[in-house]
Amino acid sequence: MKTKLLTICLGLITIFTSLSQLALAQNSTPIDTLLPPAEVEGYEEPGALEALPKVSDRDIMTTFIQTVLGWAMILTLIAIVVSGIYYLQSRGNEEEISKAKNIILYLIIGMAIIAAAYGIVSGVIQFDFFKVNP
């Protein structure tokens, strides 16, 4: 039974990652449209550093934290489904029923904490604490 649940979880994770990569691929633009043609008069090849997008450390950290929290939420939802299956498999055994209920309760509390952390991170990135006023 545990191997079946593990296979289902791994399959769901594979599907979610495939869908996210597919969505990223559909939103991307081909490299040919980003660069002007070399035949244009007055065109100079940009240097490697000037061609890179301007990304701050703050943007990198917030994107990383939001991505980790998003994946944690997905894994929590999968764990709730698995614990619901565990609850159905208990077949009236009170000890297993209480164990499954406790797992679901703790997962819901964890989801609330994850959602609060995501909201706090999303709210804090809007503030400019270190902005220098002239």
The tens digit of pLDDT for each residue in 2-27 reads 677 778 777 777 776 766 665 555 55
Are the C-beta atoms of residues 84 and 77 closer than 8 Å to each other?
no
Q: Are 86 and 100 contacting, i.e. CB atoms less than 8 angstroms apart?
A: yes
This prediction's pTM = 0.55
Mutual orientation of helices 94-124 and 57-88 as an angle, nearest 10°?
Answer: 160
Contacts of 74 (CB under 8 A, 6+ apart): 16
